[in-house]
A and B are shown apart, each in its own frame.
Chain A
Amino acid sequence: MLSFLEKAREKPATMNRTMISLIMAFLAVLWLVFSGIQDASLFFYFPTEVEQSITSDEMEQDARIRIGGFVQPDSISIEDEVVFFVLTDDERGVVRVRYEGILPDMFAEGQGAVAEGIFPSEVDNGYFSADEWIFYADDIFVKHGEEYSKEHLDKTEMKKRFGSGIPSGTLE
């Protein structure tokens, strides 16, 4: 198995040069990947975890994070181009989200959605204050896949329609 290492030692100088440049290039790729991951990854929470970290005082304000869950039925309200809704999850954690902008097409009640934004430390608009922990989202994603037809309805609604027979493969 290790004979290829011995062979490499016997190879002429050009071969070694090729090998060295290959290894250098590959190290450069690895460096690129890991530095990129450090810079560009965001912390991701479920609503229940958000609630937990707020009660235990661990949630950082003004830090960019993502929160993923289901849009709670009957929670969407739109006031002057600002959308308010509630993200929830299986364990019934709740986060109120404020979003200004265009909602994606597949955004709907009962649908899985991910919100990206911050919990601002300073809010002054006369309606609520920073200690009410409203999540200011500036980007909303919905799940992308071939399973829209299933994810559209949440589990409780599925149960109403299908009894116990929830089709397998339903995510979350």
Chain B
Amino acid sequence: MIASWPVFLGRFGLWALCAGALFALVFSVLDLKSKSQWSLVAKRSFLTSCIGSLLTVFGLQYALFSHDFSIRYVATVSSKSQPTMYLFSAWWGSLEGGLLLWAFLICLFTFLAIYKDKLRGSILTSFLLLPSATLCFFSGLMLKFANPLASFDDRFTIPLDGIGMNPLLQDPGMAIHPPLLYLGFTGITIPASHAITHLLNKNEEWIQLSRYWTNYAWFFLTTGILVGSWWAYHELGWGGWWFWDPVENASLMPWLLLTAFAHSALAFKARKLFNRWNLFLVLAAYGMTLVGTFITRSGIITSVHAFSESDLGYWFLGYITVYLLFAFGFLGFNWDSLKDNSDLKESASKENAILFNNLLFLGMFVAVFFGTTWPIFSEISTGEKVSVGAPYFEKTIPPISMPALILLSIAPWLSWKRKTGKKFKNYLKIGTIGGLLSFLFFSYIRSSIGLPWLDSSWEHFLTTFLLGFTLLPTCKEFLDSKKGRFMSSYHGGLIVHLGVLFLAIGATASVEHKFQTDAILENEKSFVLDDYDVELTQDANGLQITNSENYSSFGASVHVSSDGGTKILYPEKRDYGPNWSPTTEMGLKSNWKRDITLSMSEIINDSKVRYRVTIQPFLKFIWIGGIISILGFLVIIGSERR
């Protein structure tokens, strides 16, 4: 069977992508080695690679939209009945397309960086090393193991319709979550490449340029993680929003290093401190994007054997090793020549606060890294497979993250180099008043929704105190700041910090006060949770069966009375036919005080259904905090553009 011309073009594009990247890499190395002018050739090879990636994407999209099921990937991730929007998002529905998206975004970011930062000469060629090596690797993987445009070996096996996407993933949140994460991951390539230009060419501007791109990578990564969490909470339906799953941890690890870098880069900007440390962090963050992808894609977490069954894992491991050798080799060789101002005389200064911030973030990173990879080390060293779950993370993360939150509430008021002044003491005073007020306020609110007055975890107490402790001084800072200087990156940072504290209140409350019970509801009989002041009544109509475009729904109307209001929820089970397991759509009654969710767990008969009821106080603070943080990022990005 002859492929259609766009598919043909796409396959050609994939080769162009690989060849262009290879040439860009070779000519960059030549340019750096021989001091002759190969930079223009390297740049044009790289542009060829960009065009190649565009062609491949076009070919894949054409195949998806024209339902060309002779392409294996298309038959796996899409079907004829799939809505248009999810035909497009089927692009990143599985490994092959995911690699293509990764390559495409690296092209995009690198292209933008070259033109925005006006890179030329040897700076350009040293900058191109990392993106072109990464592109070589990813396009090589696609050509060898995971070609998104490969057709079936045998044309008689071509199916009439594809398997399609899991209905659970046919959701706007899940459609944009992966590309946001990929944008964050690939965005880290740019600051890491700028770091390499500094190591190879003494590019003193690297840190400003890196900071600029780090803001974007950070923004996308954070948004991606939050959207993923939001989706898990709303679509998986059982009241959880973070599961400490290796896939989640894989996105958290580079995030922690990137956040540490965003702070320590401030210390460099203000005082030329931590030069080597900054380079280390940004190079490690890029490394972690590879490691994260490796551990989630190779199956090594489940078992070392699963990993050794596919060559993909070895290739990843090989590339990671090569990257680490080169990146940290460059860093090691340049160690002595990298100038570092290491004057940290004043102990209560902002630079010391940043030092401890970095230590804490590194600590969290180490905790997450070991928790995630321990199964691998254990199996290799002792032959015993172990599994590390949420209890480990719930034990190790709070003792590190809580000091970080305290630091976050104090550090913005410290000064560079100097001792703290009157302003600092004043802010502490205002803050203490604010903290006590917010502590009492949240205690009162907890008591009003059926929880005991002064009985909670120390983490939750601390976060409720810290919110007021930070909020009042922040308000004063905003009121005092002169007009026009209102939206500086400093102010953006303060907004992000507030968002983090909101999120922390929601997170600690949900860990400590999450309440879950099963309730069997019958028509028009009410079920009362006395302690929580919640009344549930199933509608007189009982179980309803309705048919929708691609599923049939079993649902029931339930009246939920709480907090002085009644809302009718419609929890359902959706059946998407024999190919898929049914999904649970929860009913949610939410206000800022608490979330009450209702999920059908078992249909006993037409009028009797068992539900899982979950009550979580302050859960909305997680999303509110996330949105505040994202707005803060936007302020930072906006102010640094100028």
Contact = CB atoms under 8 A, between A and B. Distances in A.
Given A162-B152, A163-B153, A26 B336 contact: no
A54 interface: no
B391 interface: yes
B469 interface: no
B172 to A, nearest CB: 16
Contact of B169 (A25, A45, A149, A163): A149
B392 A41 contact: yes
A3 B336 contact: yes
Q: Which of A11, A148, A149 has the most CB of B within 10 A?
A: A149
A43 B245 contact: no
B388 A105 contact: no
Given A37-B392, A165-B152, 17 more contacts: A17-B347, A29-B366, A33-B371, A37-B374, A39-B395, A40-B389, A40-B391, A41-B387, A68-B387, A102-B599, A106-B581, A149-B93, A149-B163, A161-B157, A162-B157, A167-B72, A169-B297
B247 A172 contact: no
A168 B96 contact: yes
A30 B163 CA distance: 47
B399 A167 contact: no
B392 A32 contact: no
Contacts, number: 192
Interface of A: 1, 3-4, 7, 11-12, 14-15, 17-18, 22, 25-26, 29-30, 32-34, 36-37, 39-46, 66, 68, 81, 102, 104-108, 111, 114, 116, 144-150, 152-153, 161-165, 167-169, 171-172
A97 B388 CA distance: 21
Q: Which range holds the interface residue count of chain B?
A: 35 or more
B581 A107 contact: yes
A105 B237 contact: yes
Contacts of A164: 153-154
Contacts of B312: 168-169
A129 to B, nearest CB: 28
Interface string B306-322: 10011010000000000
B97 to A, nearest CB: 10
Nearest to B370: A33
A42 B94 contact: no
A15 B391 CA distance: 37
Contacts of B583: 105
A65 B425 CA distance: 53
B363 A25 contact: yes
Contacts of A149: 76-77, 93-94, 163-166, 169
B515 interface: no
A161 B159 CA distance: 8
Interface of B: 72-73, 75-77, 92-96, 98, 145-146, 152-154, 156-157, 159, 163-166, 168-169, 178, 236-238, 243, 245, 247-248, 296-297, 299, 302-303, 306, 309-310, 312, 332, 335-336, 342, 344-345, 347, 352, 355-356, 359, 362-363, 366-367, 370-371, 374-375, 378, 384-389, 391-392, 395-396, 399-400, 579-584, 599, 601-602, 612
B243 A169 contact: no
Contacts of A44: 375, 385-387
Contacts of B152: 162-163, 165
29 contacts: A4-B335, A11-B342, A14-B345, A18-B347, A22-B356, A32-B400, A34-B370, A37-B374, A37-B392, A40-B391, A41-B374, A41-B375, A41-B387, A42-B387, A42-B389, A43-B384, A105-B583, A146-B94, A146-B169, A149-B165, A162-B72, A163-B153, A163-B154, A165-B152, A168-B96, A169-B312, A171-B299, A171-B302, A172-B306
Given A1-B335, A1-B336, A150 B94 contact: yes
Given A105-B582, A149-B163, A29 B342 contact: no
A164 B94 CA distance: 19
Instruction: Give 10 nearest A-B pairs by CB, closest first.
Output: A169-B95, A40-B392, A108-B581, A29-B363, A163-B157, A44-B385, A44-B387, A41-B386, A148-B166, A36-B396
